[in-house]
Structures are given as C-alpha cells and as structure tokens.
C-alpha cells in the first residue's frame, strides 16, 4: 500500500507551459510533429502532452496500487482532451485516498463498472494459450492434403491474444482467411454487421463475419471471462525458425538449406500435403516433396525478404507446457549403422519421448499405403521403441535425434492414435536419405539469415 507521504506528493499537480504556440516544422522534434498530425493539435500542444504523459503515468501507478483489488484497466485517452483513466470493477466509489488523487488532477479520471479484474483476464489469457485445447477445426476427412479444404489446427489461425483494458475483455485475433470454409455462411444469409448504404458487405466480408461469429460460439464454452474475437492479419515477426513446431496437422522437423538455390526451409513429412502451411506464425511454401516407397519427407521454403533466420535448434521438452530446445550439431550415421542407437523424437502431440532403434530395415504397412497410390513401403525405414516411447496424431514430420545429431523425420507409429500407449513403435525416414531425396542439407550451424 502506498505510504501517506508518497500519496500526498502525487496530489501536487504539475503545470506544464509551452514556451511558444508557434508551429515551426523545421525545429520541431519528429515525435512531436507525428503526435500533432495524429491527434490534430498544434506542435506546442503536442509537446505539452508528451511532457505530461510520464507524470500521468506516475499518477496511474499510484491509483493502481491503491485500488489493486478492483483494478480492471488503465490508460490515456489522446483524442479530444488528454485524459488519464483507471477502471475499477463494480459500481462502488473508489477509496478516499484514490479519490483525492484523482480530484487533484483535472486530466485524471477513475471509472467504475467493469466485471473482471485485470488479474482475472490475464489468468484466462495464460490458460487459453493460443487455443490448443480446441484442436483441429474444419472439414474432417479431407484426402487431398490441402489445408484450405481440410482440417487446420485452431491455434494456427490465432494471430495474437491480448487484454483490451478499455473494453474489459480478453481479445483473440483470428486470421479469418486461414480458417476453414464456414458451412453456415450461406450466400444469402444475413450476417451480423451486414449494414451500410450499399446494403451488402460482399462475399469476403460476409465470410469474415461468419468466421468471427462461429469462432465466438466455438470458444464460449472454454472461457469464463468476457472475450472478443477480432479479425487480424498474421503476425509477421522476424522469426528464428526451429524444429518441433506445429505445421497444421503435422510437426516441423529440422531446418535446412536447399542445394543449388540456397533457400532456407523446414522439413516435415511428405504425407503432410498442402502447397502452403503455417508454422511459427509464418506461411511457408512447398519447395520439394518425396512421399514414396523409400522416403516420407517434404521441404517447405521460408519467405525471403522478411528478416527471418533459421537455427540449428529443435524443441525437445518432455512436457509440452515446459518449452525447451536442443541444438543439432551433426548429421547422424547411415541407416544401417543406427541399430541399437538410443534416439528421441518430438511431436506436437506427444512431446519428446525416447527409445532404442531395433530395426534398420523396417517395412511399415500403413492403411493407405506408402504413397498417394497405395504402394507398398520398401524395407528402408527405421523403427525405434521403448517403455517410454509415445506417438500419436500430429507428430508426423517431427525430428528424430540422438543427443545433438539429426537421425530422421518421423513417419508414423503403431499407437492407434493413443498418445499414452507405452512401448509404441515409431517409424522414421533416415536423415541421410531425406537430405539426398529432397536435395537439402540440415542446418547444423546458427544463425543463418533468410535473404
């Protein structure tokens, strides 16, 4: 709790006087000029406001501390008059010390009427993550591998989450174009928000409204605080790519460099089809694919010109809630030399589990065959098992490794999609065959920029 002397010191408002009302663009600081343009004030007023903001923040911090149990939000309004505000839950008036501080400043307000505290909203945000609990959404059973018509992981459509302090709500951003087609969005259906002088929002706006509405309904059972779903473009970070992340319905394996072109990319399983996939918030494009009797791998190229980089790291945490990475420093041995080696694999569903290679001439017999034509697999895959080995849907394409060496790309298992089945047998494509088939070299040094 704020000491009385400290609270009283905040009561003293600070007068800020601009030295001149004249606007001189040649001598005005660029930040002042930008503020003046954004909020339609002259340079002198812009400078006064910018100098006042740090003082306002000290007042806000004092009010937040005094009303911590009811604190729902805070901020500064810039449009119109410059006003600092603090939002509290409930309709009760603030305590006397907080009220006295606000009363001493004409540009500070305490607002009431919020339902949830800021702490409650943050707890909900942390629990939600990126909506991994929702799992796959869309048209199940798609066989063409196109993520635009088949399932996608809900978390891959989430661009961001945040706390809207003004609205007292948890905000979830959705890239509506990445969301599967919405069956309920009929061409002639009247949708929320379909207003305006032209009487129609158009097909793209109608689809976006339908997606946002359906996501709102989808998430309602999973959230116990106020939330809002907003349309947003994908978050474009300067990503340092690493293996072991979601690629929709599969897992990314190792980063790689394409021979000849020098393009950087990420390897996954070849049966994880689709001309594009999203991983680590970035859309990657198919650069090579080998899904046949001898190998099951694909390379997706990272977009150039966006300051991305590739690393020699992979996720290797045994607990999905405790992120951890391992570095890859070398390429593992030839397939026939792997027998008896202790290896681990990482998948977005099972995390990191480990076992021993017990067959280097394995011929798995997946229900759909070893390629799109249903061909029989050749006896060139590697099998590993052990008491703690686990694998299930979504793990395909993940890295198989031993300590700091790349061993292969995960193909599948005999778990019947049971993530908790002990002694699971996993099958993978040997890494040297993957490199040769795709025409790539796995990255074993870092960093390597994407041009």
Domains in the chain: ranges and CATH = 4-85 (no CATH), 120-231 (no CATH), 238-451 (2.40.10.10)
Give the model's pLDDT for residue 159. Answer: 82
Q: Residue 101, class by beta-carbon neighbours within 10 Å (0-12 exposed, 13-18 middle, 19+ buried)?
A: buried
Nearest CA-CA partner of 410 in 280, 322, 298, 282: 298
Identify the sign of the CA torsion 359, 365, 367, 371.
positive
CA distance 428 to 371: 15
Give the model's pLDDT for residue 181. Answer: 61
Give the model's pLDDT for residue 416. Answer: 86
Give the model's pLDDT for residue 447. Answer: 55
Nearest CA-CA partner of 245 in 268, 271, 274: 268
CA distance 374 to 414: 18
**Bridge partners (DSSP) listed for residue 227:** 170
CA distance 72 to 113: 9
- The helix or strand, by DSSP H or E, that contains position 164, with its residue range, turns out to be strand 158-164
CA distance 227 to 169: 5
Give the model's pLDDT for residue 28. Answer: 75
- The helix or strand, by DSSP H or E, that contains position 137, with its residue range, turns out to be strand 136-137
**Bridge partners (DSSP) listed for residue 108:** 84
**CA-to-CA dists, residue 98 to 88, 94, 117, 124, 365, angstroms:** 11, 6, 17, 28, 71
Q: Residue 418, class by beta-carbon neighbours within 10 Å (0-12 exposed, 13-18 middle, 19+ buried)?
A: middle
**Bridge partners (DSSP) listed for residue 278:** 283
Task: Say how far residue 414 (Cα) sits from the centre of its chain.
Answer: 30
DSSP letters, 7-42, are: HHHHTS------S-----TTTS-HHHHHHHHHHT--
Give the model's pLDDT for residue 451. Answer: 66
Query: What is the residue-level pLDDT of the chain in tens, covering all 451 positions?
Result: 333 334 334 434 444 333 334 456 556 777 888 898 889 999 999 999 999 998 998 999 999 999 999 999 998 999 999 999 999 999 999 999 999 999 999 999 999 999 999 999 999 998 998 888 888 886 433 333 333 444 688 888 888 888 999 999 999 989 888 887 655 444 444 433 333 333 334 667 888 898 999 999 999 999 999 999 999 876 555 678 999 999 989 999 999 999 999 999 999 999 998 999 999 989 999 999 999 999 999 999 999 988 899 999 999 988 888 888 999 999 998 999 889 899 999 999 999 999 899 988 998 888 888 998 989 899 999 999 988 899 999 999 999 999 889 999 999 999 888 999 989 999 999 999 999 999 999 999 755 666 6
pTM of the model: 0.55
Identify the sign of the CA torsion 367, 371, 375, 377.
negative
Going by their DSSP bridges, the two strands 296-301 and 440-442 should be labelled as: unpaired
Give the model's pLDDT for residue 7. Answer: 39
CA distance 316 to 309: 20
Cβ proximity of 287 and 300 under 8 Å = yes
């Amino acid at each position: 709790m704020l000491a009385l002397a400290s609270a009283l010191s905040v009561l003293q408002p600070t007068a800020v006087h601009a030295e001149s009302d004249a606007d001189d663009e040649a001598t005005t600081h660029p930040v002042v000029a930008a503020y003046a343009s954004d909020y339609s004030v002259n340079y002198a007023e812009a400078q006064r406001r910018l100098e006042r903001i740090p003082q306002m923040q000290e007042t806000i911090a004092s009010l937040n501390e005094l009303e911590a149990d009811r604190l729902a939000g805070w901020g500064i309004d810039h449009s119109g008059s410059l006003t600092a505000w603090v939002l509290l839950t409930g309709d009760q008036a603030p305590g006397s010390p907080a009220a006295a501080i606000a009363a001493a400043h004409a540009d500070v307000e305490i607002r009431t009427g919020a339902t949830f505290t800021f702490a409650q909203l943050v707890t909900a945000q942390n629990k939600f993550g990126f909506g991994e609990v929702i799992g796959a959404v869309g048209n199940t059973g798609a066989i063409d591998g196109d993520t635009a018509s088949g399932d996608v992981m809900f978390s891959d459509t989430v661009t961001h989450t945040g706390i809207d302090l003004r609205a007292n709500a948890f905000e979830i951003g959705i890239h509506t174009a990445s969301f599967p087609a919405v069956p309920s969005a009929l061409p002639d259906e009247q949708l929320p928000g379909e207003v305006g002088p032209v009487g129609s929002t158009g097909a793209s706006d109608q689809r976006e409204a339908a997606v946002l509405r359906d996501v709102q309904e989808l998430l309602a059972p999973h959230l116990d605080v106020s939330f809002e779903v907003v349309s947003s473009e994908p978050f474009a970070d300067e990503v340092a790519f690493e293996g072991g992340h979601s690629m929709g319905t599969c897992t990314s394996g190792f980063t790689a460099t394409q021979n000849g072109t020098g393009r950087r990319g990420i390897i996954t399983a070849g049966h994880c089809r689709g001309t594009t996939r999203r991983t680590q918030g970035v859309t990657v494009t198919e650069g090579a694919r080998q899904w046949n009797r001898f190998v099951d791998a694909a390379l997706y190229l990272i977009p150039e010109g966006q300051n991305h980089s590739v690393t020699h790291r992979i996720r290797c945490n045994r607990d999905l809630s405790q992120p951890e990475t391992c570095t890859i420093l070398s390429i593992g041995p030839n397939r026939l030399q792997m027998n008896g080696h202790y290896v681990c694999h990482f998948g977005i569903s099972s995390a990191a589990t480990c076992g021993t290679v017990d067959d280097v001439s394995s011929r798995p017999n997946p229900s759909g065959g070893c390629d799109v034509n249903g061909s029989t697999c050749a006896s060139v895959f590697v099998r590993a098992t052990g008491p703690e080995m686990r694998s299930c849907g979504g793990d395909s394409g993940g890295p198989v490794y031993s300590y700091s060496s790349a061993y292969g790309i995960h193909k599948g298992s005999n778990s019947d999609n049971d993530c908790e089945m002990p002694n699971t047998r996993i099958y993978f494509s040997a890494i040297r065959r993957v490199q040769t088939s795709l025409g790539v070299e796995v990255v074993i040094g870092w960093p390597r920029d994407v041009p």
